[in-house]
Structure 1
Amino acid sequence: MESILKVKNYLVDNAEKIIRDMTDTANDNHNPKLSPEELEQFIQKNTQFLVLLADSLQGSRESAEEELKQWSKQTGEEEAKLFRRFSNIMKPYPNRRLIFLQKISQISMEHGLSTEDVIKVNNRFCYLMDVSMAETISAYEMYRDKSIKDHQREINALSAPIVPIQDGVAVLPLIGAIDYTRVQHLLNYVVPTIPDLKIDYLIIDFSGTMAIDMEIAQHIFTIHNVLGLLGIHVLFSGIRPNLSMTVVKAGIDFTSFNTYGSVKMAINSLK
């Protein structure tokens, strides 16, 4: 145990030099080249990682695991914020891992560790590296998923604006593909704001929509019924032939709706 603690102390005291040596070796083996700034960030980050691994030789595996998870979560989120492809991060990992374990084995033997202790050190490090990688991937994916949802919410808001055009009349232009997420945004965020606009007529315009499926069509016409109960008259405009076929296939009775070829025609009908 005393020899293992010597290795631990050596790794902590010389962590940055060890990482720089291993980074030079990795670059010699044709790993992706980094800019000077990226290289320095990489070295400092991995120096922290090596210190955490080294400290695990003195404490329990469980406590080291928790510390590494926190470090890895932060690392995963930082990579996600930079919009780096995780495949590019993972590609050099096997080679760097091999170089790392070779270096640790060399240092362990130089400090007089037995073969059994060298294996013990390597096993501990291998396990913690796997834990770290799994946590990094998880944090990366969670951050990216949240970011994508936030961006989608912004896109939904921008692609379904309610535009007042005259007293008591507004237009809701539907732009782009209408999917389940967009419809839920309409139901949960757009429809509840319509009564506050003090309008009598809402024109839902499909001119910017290329396609919707039958389930989505039913949701769209549910919006019609909900607004009708609120005393708002809904008119549809710009429904293309292919959208009309979808509506018919969905079993929706078109005869109960006011439909027009364009927004202009719908507005003229109100006069």
Structure 2
Amino acid sequence: MAGLGRTRIAFPSQFASAFSFHRKFAICLTSSTTSNGVIFFGDGPYVLLPNINVSQSLIYTPLFINPVSTASAYIAGEPSAEYFIGVKSIKVDDKDVPVNTTLLSIDSEGYGGTKISTVNPYTILETSIYNALTEAFINETAARNITRVASVAPFGVCFSSENVLSTRVGPSVPTISLVLQNETVSWSIFGANSMVQVSEDVLCLGFVNGGENPRTSIVIGGHQLEDNLLQFDLATSRLGFSSTLLGRQTTCSNFNFTSNP
């Protein structure tokens, strides 16, 4: 286990101090069970096989600090060391999902907002956001003649894979978009990151219900991060993200440790 938070004792800060580079790191989690992903400390370029420089296509959004720690154990008055981004709205196939936007902001007591977590395997949503997203997703899949089937824990919404085509970016299902600081900046979540294959003929939406009044309204989990390169710039408090690398015909397991500088 490696600490990658904002604290001064975490790896990014210690490495930056020891080797005199910027307080910046990037993670690229693989979806493969047999190949490794990669973590870069310091700046890029981030070059993946076959000679694709992902650095050139990163989209940037501000990182925010929650004034109240969201850790399981913390000192009173200590700000959160985790990474929060500002989701303004959610879309499914470019259609707005009706959500209570006050839940998307962090209040004075540290509740609400959106954080990135490699600890949680799947994205966790506050109940009303979960219900609105799943309803919109179900409606859009029905329009594609994708049949809903019985749920498989921990997922609440599952489908038959019978009418779901396979594409370069995963199962052909509606695209979920997290709209960030404005309408032109969004994190697109395609089938490879939105769906989980739970059996040969059943796919489930890889988002789970986090209950009412959770500490954080949206926690983006590991499955949604796979084959996405994320650059955390602590010095300037911004996140660079690639969205799925599958559309560029590469993956997070395509870093060649023998040839990259």
Relative to the length of structure 2, the TM-score reads 0.19
Greater helix fraction, Structure 1 or Structure 2: 1
Larger RCO: Structure 1 or Structure 2 (Cα < 8 Å, ≥ 6 residues apart)? 2
Which protein is bigger by CA-based radius of gyration? 1
TM-score, normalised on structure 1?
Answer: 0.19
Indicate the structure with greater strand content: 2
